Amino acid sequence: MAVVDVLLVLRNCDELVLFGQRAAHLYAGGQYNLISGKAEPGEDVYTAVAREAREEAGVVLPIADLRPLGVVHTAGSHQPRTGFVFLAEHDPHRHGGIFNAEPDKCDGLVWAHPSRPPQPLESYNAAALRLHLVPGLLVSVHGWTSAMHHMRLRPRWFDLLTTGHKTVEIRLHDERRAAIRLGDSITFSNTDTQQQTVAEVIGLRRFASFAAALDAIPTAAVAGPGADRATAEAELTATYSPADEAHHGALAITMRVAARMHPLS
């Protein structure tokens, strides 16, 4: 039988989202997650997520107050699973106050901005939260090899990326890059130190050439503050041949850094 999960982005009037910390004795103990759980036999996903909100946080959400955000398809730990993700605006007057209704399973609830969630955030829930953070992303994938990509960056560009000064990477739009989708993860490796950082793909734009991409995208987003266009274009033309550029065109990947990892041993 297919496993169907439900996850809820419950947001308050300050646009903060509710997270719970899983009890230490549970799977992913100590990590944070959204209100979530499995749909029970005979339940549709709307009924299931409303039940989970009541059981975990004590709130009563009418079905009409639930807005679908999209679906997460995860490889899971033992079998693939599908998670239906919803958004609800918490109104304490209509829905009731928030409280930890499952102290045996949850060590505490916390409100946090969705772009700065409490850490560590469980990765399946992070994939669900992506549907709220990335406009137009209706399907998020998690744990599948096809959704994970790897690229190498020279030290200067790597440092700009990890410090948040570089938010766009321009590459050849070849077969490898054509497989990149919104919500995918890219692991970037520093060519000198082998240190790695993981970035989430939050935007994709295709262009006929590198010049066209650089005409449309601020140079600072590609090459960091104070960089000139010639520097960015020289890096690209030194890496790819004119024939490859003419054949494939360019892909501009907008990213948000998700994690920085230690050097590989």
Averaged confidence pLDDT in the chain: 91
pTM above 0.75, yes or no: no
| Token output for 50 | 């409303």
- Whether residue 44 is predicted with pLDDT greater than 80 in this model: the reply is yes
Tens digits of residue pLDDT in 171-191: 999 999 999 988 888 989 999
Residue 259 pLDDT: 57
**Average pLDDT score over residue span 35-61:** 97
User: Comparing 1 with 76, which gets the higher pLDDT?
Assistant: 76
Tens digits of residue pLDDT in 114-158: 988 998 999 899 989 989 988 888 988 888 887 889 999 999 999
The closest of 160, 137, 105 to 126, measured between CA atoms, is: 137
Tens digits of residue pLDDT in 221-260: 999 999 889 888 888 888 899 999 999 999 999 998 865 5
Spatial separation of the C-alpha atoms in residues 265 and 263, rounded to whole Å: 6
- Whether residue 88 is predicted with pLDDT greater than 90 in this model: the reply is yes
Residue 225 pLDDT: 92
Burial class (CB in 10 A: 0-12, 13-18, 19+), 179: exposed
**Average pLDDT score over residue span 82-101:** 98
- Whether residue 2 is predicted with pLDDT greater than 80 in this model: the reply is no
Cβ–Cβ under 8 Å, residues 48 and 6: yes
Residue 20 pLDDT: 97
Strands 106-112 and 139-142: unpaired
- Whether residue 200 is predicted with pLDDT greater than 80 in this model: the reply is yes
Spatial separation of the C-alpha atoms in residues 57 and 183, rounded to whole Å: 28
**Average pLDDT score over residue span 59-77:** 95
DSSP-derived 3-state class of residue 106: strand
Residue 195 pLDDT: 87
Tens digits of residue pLDDT in 18-27: 999 999 998 8
